[in-house]
Amino acid sequence: MKTKKYLVLVATLVLACCVALLVGCGKGGNEPSGTDNTPAPANTTPTPTDTTPNYNTTITYQGKEYSFNLLTPGTITVATSPDFPPFDNLDGEAYVGFDMEIMNAVAAELGLQVKYTTVNFDAIITAVAAGAPADMAASGITISEERKQEVDFTSPYYSSNLAIIVTGDSSFKSAADLEGKKIGSQSGTTGQAWAEENIKGLESITFTTVPDGLNALKAGKVDAFVTDLPVAQNMVASSFSDCKIIQEIATGDEFGFAVNKANPELTAAISAALATLEQNGTLDKLETKWLSDYTSEA
């Protein structure tokens, strides 16, 4: 009996303390900002009325501050479809190519780490827009108005054209010969869009990767394959030497890196770093290293 009463008393006291604490908190939170002169701690959880996003990474680059959210604070996670040499490729486990070297240089400029992850090209814009599994994408992505509805783009770092590839023994000479034929392309690319808009009566057949499409071309499953010119030249000069380019298509596509729309200052920081790399000759050097054997001229 005695202990029971005692317990009730303790419980009541504990409850009273909790209520007091809660009321105290509520009061503090409801106070209009500005009446309190103590600076807010760096990592406060925003109240519902707080419109400033709680970014997890802040950098200062060339005297300017940039704040953004990264899946891993301090590390930019970059999606790529590594089937697109000389832009995006795998060398064993390592991601290599023009895009990777530019992104590595950008990250070094900004004092951030960079990590790559594979996403099929036709899912890459959606992945960036969803914010997972990557913060952004570097994948030979052509900047387009349609894609700009879903993601932001950095300033462009390369201009490219398209090309039509056929087998070495094919008698097709240009797009005009391909009407009503089976035309291959990588799913979700500008190559697919161009073929579907410009080759009359085609049967459009898409592939997850560029090599998949070129193997299908060799196997006679498609009559031609459309992809970006430097990639077509790279493939024909290496693994697909039994294929040839019959037509170059001047599209003036511009490549940019795609970034999640909720991270405008990440886009701005990358564009600032790209401007530096352009001015100090790094972009030219990398272009010579990766693309001098190929031309983007149609």
Cα 143 to Cα 251: distance, rounded to the nearest angstrom: 12
Report if residue 81 touches ligand ARG, rule: CB under 6 A: yes
288 within 8 A of 124, measured Cβ to Cβ: no
Residue with tokens 């972009």: 283
Residue 256 interacts with ligand ARG (CB under 6 A): yes or no: no
> Does residue number 190 form part of the binding site for ligand ARG (CB under 6 A)?
yes
Q: Least distance (Å) from ligand ARG to the CB of residue 129? A: 15
The distance of closest approach from Cβ of residue 220 to ligand ARG in the complex, given in angstroms and rounded to an integer, is 23
CA distance 173 to 280: 42
**Residue with Cβ nearer ligand ARG (185 or 263):** 185
Least Å from the CB of residue 18 to ligand ARG: 56
CA distance linking residue 11 with residue 27, whole number of Å: 24
Binds ligand ARG (CB under 6 A): choice among 88, 135, 152, 265: 88
Residue 257 contacts ligand ARG per CB under 6 A: no
Strands (E), 62-210: 64-68, 75-80, 89-91, 94-96, 113-118, 136-137, 152-153, 158-167, 182-186, 203-207
From candidates 121, 194, 207, 257, binder to ligand ARG by CB under 6 A = 121
In angstroms, the first-to-last Cα distance of the chain is: 95
Site residues for ligand ARG, window 195-214 (CB under 6 A)? Answer: 210
Cβ neighbour number for residue 196 with a 10 Å cutoff? 14
User: Which residue in the set 57, 77, 167, 186 belongs to the binding site for ligand ARG (CB under 6 A)?
Assistant: 186
Q: Name the residue nearer to ligand ARG (CB basis): 83 or 135.
A: 83
Under rule CB under 6 A, residue 140 binds ligand ARG: yes
Rounded CA-CA distance 137/141 in Å is: 8
Binding residues for ligand ARG (CB under 6 A): 81, 83-84, 88, 121, 139-142, 186, 189-190, 210, 228, 253
